[in-house]
Amino acid sequence: MMLTVCRAWLLAVAAAFLFLTIPSVSQAVPVDEPLADPALEARARALHKQIRCLVCQNQSIDDSNADLARDLRIVVRQRISLGGSDEEVLNYLVDRYGDWVLLNPPLNIRTLALWLGPVVLLLLGGTFAVVVIRQQRSTQGVKPEPLSEAEQARLSALLDNDRDAL
Amino acid sequence: MRLTHILPLVLFAVVALALGIGLTLNPRIIPSALIDKPIPEFTLPPVDGRPNGLAASDLRTGEVAIVNIFASWCGPCRVEHPLLMEIARSGEVPVHGINYKDLPRNAVAWLKQYGDPYQRVGSDRDGHVSIDWGVYGVPETFVIDREGRIAYKHVGPIMRDDLDNKILKKVRELQGK
């Protein structure tokens, strides 16, 4: 009799414990955990690496420990698991945070200088170098005037002096 | 002087100017992508212990409104708080709040201590609605026009100058005064 009461108590405690540790659905606080489906998780991770952490600025949300980065990781995972395409997920964030949220900026009117700037600078520098080198070449071909007799005599004297010094 | 002689100097000047502008910009201020866009669809419950949550429909009443994102753990929020109180006292424009990733009891205690300028406060425990608003830090303050579009966004604490020359100026312009 005593044993059965005890066992009933134990069961009740165990049940209460189980009930308390299972997170209730209504209170579910989203967690920063990998998705169960490895394919979806791989897509989420790939996207995380492309998204800038807005408070740490030059880290991706995959790298960052910032609170906002964590929240953005969760948002990306939620949207992916709800069937959003990669493009839809990125567009959602770009709509809210602008192109700046992408670590790899898209090519458009506003980023034209960013993408074409280096090429333009290279062309400018290259043209400059070519012009300067050509100019130097054109003066290279001209032979200097031969030495006059007086200059030749001075040169010989100087060379003789050096030989004596040795 | 030949062009090739002056070219390096010109290039240097251009690069120096570009870097000069680039390095003096504030990298914390990210241009909002949501200006002139409709506010996001959302419904937030009230902070426990406080009436009136906040939903998108509360901001489509045909009235200009201010929405302030705040948290009790946020230092700069305290800095701007007296100015929000001032707007609330003037009654010029309704101020609503989104309580960002905060514990309700902390938020309620904070509002009790420093004053409560908000008509409605939505509790955004997990911060997801704020992400919908393009928020990346607290405080942030939005001016909503009569049609429920985001007309202006201020990032960081509101200073006297921001209030008078930007936020209230925008509000008055939208109110047609």
Predicted confidence (pLDDT) at residue B75 exceeds the cutoff of 80: yes
Predicted confidence (pLDDT) at residue A3 exceeds the cutoff of 60: no
Average pLDDT over residues A117-135: 92
Q: Which segments of chain B are extended strands (E)? A: 43-44, 54-55, 65-70, 95-100, 121-124, 140-144, 150-155
Predicted confidence (pLDDT) at residue B2 exceeds the cutoff of 90: no
A35's tokens: 């998705």
Spans of all domains in chain B: 33-175
B85's tokens: 């109180």
Residues of B within 8 A of A75 (CB-CB) are 128, 131
How many angstroms separate the CA atoms of A41 and A35, rounded? Answer: 5
pLDDT of residue A33: 86
Total-model pTM: 0.74
- The residue with greater pLDDT, A115 or A142, is A115
Q: How many CB pairs under 8 A join A and B?
A: 51
ipTM: 0.81
Q: Mind telling me how many Å the CA of B114 is from chain A's nearest CA?
A: 26
Residues of A within 8 A of B48 (CB-CB) are none
- Domain B33-175: what homologous superfamily? Glutaredoxin (3.40.30.10)
CB distance A12 to A19 below 8 Å: no
CB distance B77 to B157 below 8 Å: yes
Closest to B162 measured CA to CA, from B75, B86, B98, B70: B86
pLDDT, tens digit (0-9, with 9 covering 90-100), for B88-107: 999 999 999 999 999 999 99
Contact partners, residue B76, CB within 8 Å, separation at least 6: B138, B139, B156, B157
**HSE of B158, CA atoms in CB hemisphere, 13 A:** 27
Q: Would you call A56 helix, strand, or coil by DSSP? A: coil
Q: Do B30 and A97 touch (CB under 8 A)?
A: yes
Interface check B34 vs A, CB under 8 A: yes
Position A1 confidence tier, pLDDT thresholds 50, 70, 90: very low
Q: Do A96 and B34 touch (CB under 8 A)?
A: yes
Position A20 confidence tier, pLDDT thresholds 50, 70, 90: low
pLDDT of residue A55: 86
Predicted confidence (pLDDT) at residue B177 exceeds the cutoff of 50: yes
Q: What is the DSSP letter of A104?
A: S
For A75, name the nearest residue in chain B, comparing CA atoms only: B128
- The residue with greater pLDDT, A128 or A8, is A128
Q: Mind telling me how many Å the CA of B107 is from chain A's nearest CA?
A: 19
Contact partners, residue A67, CB within 8 Å, separation at least 6: B101, B127
Predicted confidence (pLDDT) at residue B32 exceeds the cutoff of 90: no
